[in-house]
Amino acid sequence: MSALNLIYKDRLTFGIELPLDRDWSEAGQRRARIEGRPFGVPDISTPAKGVELAERLGFDAVWLRDVPVHDPSFGDAGQVFDPFPYLGFLAGRTRRIALGTAGIVLPLRDPILLAKMTASLHHLSEGRLILGIASGDRPVEYPLMGLDYETRGATLRDHVEQMRTLWSGDALQGPQGPVTVRPFVPEGIPMVMAGMGQQSLQWIARTLDGWFTYPGPPDQAERRLSMWRQARNDAGLPPAPVLTAMHLDLDPDPDAPFRPIQFGGRIGRNALTTHVRSLHAAGVAHIAFNLRQSQREIEDVLAELAEHIMPVPRRLRSLGH
């Protein structure tokens, strides 16, 4: 079974983006200053607690980012931990939830080593890895590693091809003869593009297994889905999932209207229900919530989402929508 089946169902599914720390909120920034953490560096003292809670509450996926170096001028260290050892750690602390990246900066990674890491994680997690990939939006990373920023799109395409070849068990030619990269994953590991990755939508649709789009309103989601479906159809391929994300500050007032924040909104659960209904109707497969701007405690927000928001698509499906 593909890990995509954990999030690609007959209804909208839900995930969380790490870190599960409200370090971008006013309270979170005050706490960070007291603890001596610069802006954008979250608390890493409880790396499994929030993920274990999310799994118990029924969330379908957890997503990690790839931030190799912390650039203070960029102001975001992601979840701090490298995604692969962190996902391995989480694989041992969870049983059901999908383990995703959104996304690995593929041109910065050696494809042989990455093929081995991802295949290992696939087997150790019992097939729960979804490999989101990206080309990276931080030019500082490329010169630090002696790599060309301008050709990252071509490098990404080459790495995708190499990794699939290695997962299949095909041999590399070493100086003393053929060698392979084990463990094998003959069926492959599902790959989704985060953003565009310097690629055309047509290449993404015919080559990868899904598309993780940037946050946006439902009408934008509908336009993207229409383009994606057309691109998959033109490639002679079956439907595949479109995923999205949202930075969420869940207002304690259920009737609070939507107010924009960076990459998302401050919103009460009733307006959020309307938003979720619209995404479900448009055909979005999965939404991942980022809670770094949350004014409320993470545990309270996860519980409210599980009780009031996550059942909405199930109810809609039971009514035939």
Q: Are 172 and 178 in contact (CB under 8 A)?
A: yes
Question: 212: exposed, middle or buried (C-beta count within 10 Å: 0-12, 13-18, 19+)?
Answer: buried
Nearest of 142, 70, 71 to residue 107 by alpha carbon: 142
Q: Write out the two tokens for 257.
A: 């209207």
Predicted confidence pLDDT, tens digits, the chain (321 residues): 799 999 999 999 999 999 999 999 999 999 999 999 999 999 999 999 999 999 999 999 999 999 999 998 888 999 999 999 999 999 999 999 999 999 999 999 999 999 999 999 999 999 999 999 999 988 789 999 999 999 999 999 999 999 999 999 999 999 999 999 999 999 999 999 999 999 999 999 999 999 999 888 888 999 999 999 999 999 999 999 999 999 999 999 999 999 999 999 999 999 999 999 999 999 999 999 999 999 999 999 999 999 999 999 999 988 887
123-127 long-range contacts, Cβ below 8 Å, gap at least 24?
123/183, 123/185, 124/88, 124/91, 124/92, 125/87, 125/88, 125/91, 125/99, 127/1, 127/2, 127/3
Which pLDDT belongs to residue 320?
82
**Residue pair 65/102 in contact by the 8 Å Cβ criterion:** yes
Whole-angstrom CA distances from 234 to 8, 188, 201, 231, 284 are 21, 23, 11, 5, 20
| pLDDT computed for residue 139 by the predictor | 78
- Could you tell me where the beta strands, DSSP code E, fall in the chain? 13-17, 61-64, 98-105, 129-134, 172-174, 177-179, 191-194, 210-212, 242-250, 259-261, 264-267, 286-290
Straight-line distance from the first to the last Cα atom of the chain, in angstroms, rounded to the nearest whole number: 26
Q: Which residues of 109-136 are buried (b: 16+ CB within 10 A; e: fewer)?
A: bebeebbbbbbbbbeebebbbbbbbbbb
Candidates 3.90.1010.10, 3.40.50.800, 3.20.20.30, 3.40.50.1970; CATH matching 3-318: 3.20.20.30
Supply the pLDDT for residue 12.
98
Domain ranges of the chain: 3-318
